[in-house]
């Protein structure tokens, strides 16, 4: 029998990093920046959190002495700062220096994944620590703290309340982002910048400021996805390349959700489900077939891509100037 009660929490846990990533990328793309560096940013976000908390836990000597507030704040702030720096880098290159966004994004992904794996693999040696691997169980415990009634309310508790706080942050952020984009003046201005920067410029909207703000904010949100993955999903254990291709899936989700973070809440969980579906489908002795099931999220993304290119509604198209640099005096 298909075990839906244990399937859904795992799908959600898989979906949350995707949700952070896609919310961040939607905010970024609404400003006209197609940031293919998001996979790298998520790695950097994750590893920066790890570095922060690793140094903190080590300074304590005994991890059980961890201060709950600092234990959460230190990795959180490290993660946000690391992702912010990546965002600033991307903006400096593509907005200020008007570089090609695709190439800049790929270079950021190369750099970010390398950065994550390098520190993941060398942190212990660099700090001269005497531990066999990076396992931040004390910090992870804080991140994984669930609502008190999660385990006493049966399946309902399991499905709705059994997550660490970052999962709820992701969902709230997505709805807030949707609201801001749709209903506020800031959102209106931001969408104008992504649609037609020349027109937005002509009414006095500061293009550079909006692009920088949206992209940096987007990177910080995406970076949280990396932090959630390592601290909550992976129990505070960093292993190189474990985060895998989730960053690319997050970018694909943006198209799937036609640039709406609120749809992304459900789409991310759906994708999270597809990601782990192979674990829930009995295949018996045949291990090879599981590898075929692992194709599912990618195949579904492709199908969605094709279908979204068949729809022609104006409102469902990407921001009109997505991927193009803006130069006021271009004639």
Partner 1 sequence: MPEKQCAVSLRGISKAFGKIQANHNVDLDIYRGEILALLGENGSGKTTLMNMLSGIYFPDSGTITIDGKPATISSPRDAFAYGIGMIHQHFKLINVFTAAENIVLGLQDEAGFNLDEAKTRIMSVCDAYSFEIDLDQKVYDMSVSQKQTVEIVKLLYRGTEVLILDEPTAVLTPQETDKLFAVLRNMRDSGKAIVIITHKLHEVLDISDRVSVLRKGEQIGELLTSKATAEQMTNMMVGRQVSLNIERPTPQDPRERIRVEGVTVRGSDGVVKLDNVSFSAYTGEILGIAGISGCGQKELLEAIAGLQAVEQGSIDYIEDDGTLDSLIGKDPLEIASMGIALSFVPEDRLGMGLVGSMDLADNMMLRSFRQGRSFFTDRKAPEHLAEKVIDELEVNTTSVHTPVSNLSGGNVQKVLVGREIASAPKVVLSAYAVRGLDVNSSYVIYDLLNKQKESGVAVVYVGEDLDVLLELCDRILVLCAGKVSGIVDGRNTTKNEVGLMMTNLGGAQ
Partner 2 sequence: MIHISKRKEMPLWQSLSIRLAAIVVALIVCGIITTTMTGLNPLEVYASMVKGAFGSPRKVWILLQELALLLCVSVALTPAFRMRFWNLGGEGQILVGCLASAACMIAIGDKLPNPLLIFIMLLWSLAAGALWAVIPAYFKARWNTNETLFTLMMNYVATQLVAYFVIVWEVPKGSGNIGIINQTTEAGWFAQIAGNKYLLNILLVAALTVAMYIYLNYSKHGYEISVVGESVNTARYVGIKVERVILRTLLLSGAICGFAGLLLVAGTNHTLTTTLAGGRGFTAVMVTWLAKFNPLVMIASSLLLVFMGNGAAEISTAFALNQSFGDILTGIILFFIIGSEFFITYKLSFSSHDKQTNQATLATTAMKEA
Binding region for partner 1 (CB under 8 A): 183-185, 188-189, 191-192, 195-196, 198-206, 312, 314-315, 320, 328-329, 331
Piece in contact with partner 2 (CB under 8 A), picked from 10-18, 107-115, 180-188, 261-269: 107-115
Supply φ then ψ for residue 254, to 5 degrees. Answer: -60, -40
Asked if 129 and 50 touch (Cβ cutoff 8 Å), the reply is no
Asked if 246 and 121 touch (Cβ cutoff 8 Å), the reply is no
Residue 305 makes contact with partner 2 by CB under 8 A: yes
Piece in contact with partner 2 (CB under 8 A), picked from 14-22, 103-111, 174-182, 201-209: 103-111
CA dist., res. 22 & res. 303, Å (int): 18
Provide, for the chain, the percentages of residues in helix, strand and coil under a 3-state DSSP scheme, each rounded to the nearest 5: 75, 0, 25
String of DSSP letters for 243-284: STTHHHHHHHHHHHTTT-HHHHHHHHHHHHHHHHHHHHS--T
The CB-of-195 to partner 1 minimum distance in angstroms stands at: 5
Taking residues 263 to 302 in sequence order and writing x for each that binds partner 2 by CB under 8 A, - otherwise, the string is: ------------------------xxx-xx-xx--xx-xx
The CB-of-314 to partner 2 minimum distance in angstroms stands at: 15
Which does residue 267 touch among partner 2, partner 1, none (CB within 5 to 8 A, set by kind)?
none
Contacts of 96 (CB under 8 A, 6+ apart): 208
Q: Is 145 helix (H, G, I), strand (E, B) or coil?
A: coil
Q: Which of residues 122-181 bind partner 2 (CB under 8 A)?
A: 122, 125-126
Asked if 314 and 262 touch (Cβ cutoff 8 Å), the reply is no
The CB-of-157 to partner 2 minimum distance in angstroms stands at: 34
Which does residue 195 touch among partner 2, partner 1, none (CB within 5 to 8 A, set by kind)?
partner 1
Judged by the rule CB under 8 A, the positions of this chain that interact with partner 2 are: 36, 89, 92-93, 97-100, 102-104, 106-122, 125-126, 240, 245, 248, 251-252, 255, 287-289, 291-292, 294-295, 298-299, 301-302, 305-306, 309-310, 327, 329-330
């Amino acid at each position: 029998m298909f075990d839906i009660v244990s399937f859904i929490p795992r799908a959600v846990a898989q979906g949350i990093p995707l949700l952070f990533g896609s919310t961040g990328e939607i905010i970024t793309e609404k400003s006209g920046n197609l940031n293919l560096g998001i996979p790298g940013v998520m790695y950097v976000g994750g590893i920066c959190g790890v570095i922060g908390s690793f140094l903190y836990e080590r300074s304590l000597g005994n991890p059980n002495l961890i201060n709950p507030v600092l234990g959460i704040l230190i990795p959180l702030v490290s993660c946000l700062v690391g992702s912010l720096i990546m965002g600033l880098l991307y903006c400096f290159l593509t907005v200020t220096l008007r570089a090609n966004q695709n190439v800049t994004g790929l270079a950021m992904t190369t750099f970010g994944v390398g950065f994550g794996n390098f520190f993941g693999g060398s942190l212990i040696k660099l700090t001269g620590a005497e531990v066999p691997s990076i396992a931040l169980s004390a910090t992870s415990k804080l991140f994984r703290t669930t609502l008190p009634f999660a385990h006493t309310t049966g399946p309902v508790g399991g499905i709705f309340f059994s997550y660490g706080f970052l999962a709820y942050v992701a969902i709230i952020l997505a709805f807030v982002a949707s609201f801001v984009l749709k209903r506020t003046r800031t959102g209106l201005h931001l969408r104008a910048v992504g649609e037609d920067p020349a027109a937005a410029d002509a009414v006095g909207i500061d293009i550079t400021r909006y692009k920088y703000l949206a992209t940096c904010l987007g990177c910080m949100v995406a970076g949280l996805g990396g932090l959630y993955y390592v601290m909550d999903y992976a129990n505070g254990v960093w292993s190189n390349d474990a985060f895998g291709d989730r960053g690319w899936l997050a970018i694909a989700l943006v198209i799937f959700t036609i640039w709406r973070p609120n749809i992304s809440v459900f789409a991310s969980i759906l994708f999270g489900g597809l990601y782990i579906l192979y674990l829930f489908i009995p295949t018996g002795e045949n291990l090879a077939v599981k590898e075929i099931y692992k194709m599912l999220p990618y195949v579904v993304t492709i199908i969605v891509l094709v279908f979204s290119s068949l729809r022609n509604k104006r409102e469902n198209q990407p921001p009109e100037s997505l991927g193009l640099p803006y130069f006021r005096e271009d004639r």
